[in-house]
Amino acid sequence: MTVSYYLGIDIGSVTTKLVVIDDGGTPRFTLYERTNGRPVAAIQHAFAALRDTCGETSEIRGVGATGSGRHLASVMVGADEVRTEITAHAVAARHACPEVRTIIDIGGQDSKVIFLRGGVSTGFNMNTVCAAGTGSFLDHQAARLGIPIEEFGAYALRSRAPVKIAGRCGVFAESDLIHKQQMGYAPEDLIAGLCISLARNFLQNVARDPQGRKIKPTILFQGGVAANIGLRTAFESLLDIPLQVRRCSLAGASSAPARRHASAASATSPLSAASRAPSPARTAPTPAKSLNSTLMTRW
């Protein structure tokens, strides 16, 4: 028996995410792994894993691509929909949390705030000149301190006296962190101070909206950095508002409408975004793609 699926691909600067849902919107396959600067190889590996799990006769009825490598992914797999991370995150957030008003998204190399009203994006801001606080920056600091990135946030929560760290610029933040480390401050105090500094930098720069839009609850924290409980705690302390965290790589897809011929197939990172598959009501029917046909052989 042939089963129809809808597929979402998110190729980010640091990680690659892939999720497949069935006609009822139930996730049937997910993959989350580091891109390692080789997006082509990452896509090949992802689809090889998908073929091994779902079988070569499975029909892909709709494909959506997002992320910084979305155009490459689209060419490789023949995507029906190509969407920016802004649109993808807004769609995924609306499905996951209909009452969401603000999305804080911090990924591998960029950070952004998205404002929504009635489930529709009304605007967004992104970091422009500095990557301080993004996933790649935190990865680098964790490696330099000899701490697994998965434990970075837990270290921050153990702090009793966070150190003040300059966070307006990634270069200055690292320099100040090294200086304070040489002064003998405990790792947990350094990390807690860094989390607070980076959260404050985000709120003062990225989230400062020239049109006067404000961060309002319900707030959804998405992107890879949302897995860092230290940064989440820092945001909640500065905003005095609790954050909802979507860390799962299939957050968007699992929240898509559970109906036949689902109109959304989303891939979000724990640590990213969703992309909508074409809606049959608005576009011509998409021929089914078999996993052993062009979808797998475009490499």
Tens-of-pLDDT digits for all 299 residues of the chain? 566 788 999 988 888 989 888 877 788 888 888 888 899 999 999 989 988 887 776 788 889 998 889 999 999 988 898 988 888 888 888 888 889 999 999 888 888 999 998 888 889 988 876 767 788 888 889 998 999 999 999 999 999 999 998 877 777 888 998 999 999 999 999 999 999 999 998 998 888 877 888 899 999 998 888 889 999 999 999 999 999 987 544 443 333 223 233 343 344 332 233 333 333 333 333 444 554 443 433 33
- 151 CB neighbour count, 10 Å cutoff: 12
User: Is the Cα torsion angle 250, 156, 108, 115 positive or negative in sign?
Assistant: positive
Evaluate whether 168 touches 133 at the Cβ level (below 8 Å). no
Q: What is the sign, positive or negative, of the torsion defined by CA atoms of 140, 143, 144, 145?
A: positive
Please name the residues in contact with 289: beta carbons below 8 A apart, sequence gap of 6 or more.
59, 60, 61, 63, 78, 295
20 neighbors 53 (Cβ within 8 angstroms): no
Query: In terms of Cα–Cα distance, which of 169, 173, 180, 178 is closest to 194?
Result: 173
Q: What ranges make up the beta strands (E) of 107-249?
A: 111-117, 120-126, 219-222, 243-245
Q: Domains (ranges, CATH) in the chain?
A: 4-88+249-297 (3.30.420), 99-245 (3.30.420.40)
- Structure tokens given for 171: 């270069």
**What are the E-state strand segments in the chain?**
4-11, 15-22, 27-34, 59-66, 81-82, 102-106, 111-117, 120-126, 219-222, 243-245, 289-290
- Model's pTM, two decimal places? 0.78
